[in-house]
């Protein structure tokens, strides 16, 4: 673990250097993310202030759903940013160099350096989640513990999907569309999946587990998720992870290196 943490730290340090090379562009990009977050939050506040209740949830509960989504989304992009650059490694043949290095190729492809811009936004999201949780009735130490457990579970599912994207990039040399499809589906979790009618609600909960990733943590904090839902969420993440590892190993066996 110490070895891989050192590798990750060196890769992250190199990634941070890119931020300082193009500071103006990075600052503008960060400003755009903040503006988008604020405008959507303002939209929710205006909407629910008129209706008082949204799909059975009050204002602070809906805000908690939205903040949970943003935290998971930002954390995922921060940790797995290297996935967005993986296609070029395959096309250029530089993936061959990763395979021969004494570092696990999957680790290097997933954790090739954290994104500073998303890291900057994480602390405010943590603070905002704490404020929202303070205003939500029924929050206890136990429900907060379940919330943190399911946040970790959501990140585990996100990691599994990113492993699948890496495998598809090896098999098809395509990654951009796959990662954008993933982003589009997860964006449906900005609001609780309860707002969707059947069969869409079941689809985004059990087939594309957006509900498990984005909605279940907030529900657990509110005390609205039973033990069966928690066991299902943990079992689903383990199943998806095992499938992603199988797919990754299959793709490596089918990989045609640049030298072949």
What is the distance between the alpha carbons of residues 157 and 151, in angstroms, rounded to a whole number?
10
Q: What CA–CA distance (Å, rounded) separates 105 from 169?
A: 14
Assess if residue 260 is contained within a domain: no
178/244: higher pLDDT: 244
User: Quick one: average pLDDT of 62-75?
Assistant: 92
d(CA 126, CA 132): 10
CB neighbours of 53 closer than 8 A, spacing ≥ 6?
Answer: none
The pTM of the whole model exceeds 0.85 = yes
pLDDT at position 205 is 85
d(CA 77, CA 111): 11
Write out pLDDT tens, residues 200-218: 888 888 888 999 999 999 9
List the beta bridge partners of residue 54.
57
Minimum mean pLDDT range among 33-42, 64-73, 127-136 = 33-42
Burial 135-167 (b: 16+ CB within 10 A, else e): ebeebeeebeebbeebbebbbbbbbbbbbbbbb
Give residue-wise pLDDT tens across range 14-28: 766 666 666 676 677
Q: Which of 117, 120, 100 is nearest to 108 (CA)?
A: 100
Q: What is the pLDDT of residue 89?
A: 83
Where does the pLDDT of residue 235 fall: very low under 50, low under 70, confident under 90, or very high at 90 and above?
A: very high
Burial of 196-222, coded b for 16+ CB within 10 Å and e otherwise, reads: beeeeeebbbeebbbbbbbbbbbbbbb
Task: Note the pLDDT tens digit of each residue in 102-135.
Answer: 888 898 888 887 777 777 788 888 999 999 999 9
pLDDT greater than 90 at residue 254: no
Q: At 68, is the pLDDT very low, low, confident or very high (cuts 50, 70, 90)?
A: very high
Q: Which two tokens stand for residue 52?
A: 């008082």
pLDDT of residue 5: 79
- Residue-wise pLDDT for 92-110, tens only, equals 878 888 888 888 889 888 8
Is residue 77 pLDDT above 90, yes or no?
no
Total domains present in the chain: 1
Residue 259 lies in a domain: no
Q: Please give the residue range of the domain that contains residue 213.
A: 2-254
Tens digit of each residue's pLDDT (9 = 90 or more) over 162-215: 999 999 888 887 776 778 888 888 888 888 888 888 888 888 888 889 999 999
Separation CA 93–CA 102 (nearest Å)? 18
pLDDT given at position 21 = 64
């Amino acid at each position: 673990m110490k070895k891989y943490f050192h590798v990750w730290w060196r890769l992250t340090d190199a990634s941070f250097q890119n931020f300082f090379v193009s500071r103006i562009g990075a600052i503008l990009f960060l400003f755009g993310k903040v503006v988008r977050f604020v405008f959507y939050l303002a939209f929710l506040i205006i909407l629910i202030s008129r209706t008082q209740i949204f799909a059975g949830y009050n204002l602070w509960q809906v805000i908690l759903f939205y903040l949970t989504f943003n935290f998971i989304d930002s954390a995922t992009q921060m940790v797995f940013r290297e996935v967005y650059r993986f296609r070029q490694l395959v096309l250029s043949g530089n993936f061959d160099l990763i395979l021969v290095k004494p570092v696990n190729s999957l680790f290097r492809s997933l954790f090739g350096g954290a994104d500073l811009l998303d890291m900057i936004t994480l602390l405010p999201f943590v603070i905002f989640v704490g404020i929202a949780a303070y205003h939500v009735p029924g929050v206890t130490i136990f429900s907060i513990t379940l919330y943190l457990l399911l946040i970790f579970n959501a990140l585990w599912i996100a990691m599994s999907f990113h492993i699948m994207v890496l495998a598809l990039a090896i098999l098809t040399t395509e990654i951009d569309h796959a990662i954008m499809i993933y982003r589009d589906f997860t964006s449906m979790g900005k609001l609780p999946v309860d707002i969707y009618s059947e069969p869409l609600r079941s689809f985004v909960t059990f087939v594309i587990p957006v509900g498990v990733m984005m909605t279940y943590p907030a529900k657990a904090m509110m005390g609205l998720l039973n033990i069966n839902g928690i066991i299902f969420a943990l079992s689903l993440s383990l199943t998806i992870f095992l499938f992603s590892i199988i797919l990754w190993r299959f793709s490596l066996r089918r990989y045609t290196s640049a030298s072949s």
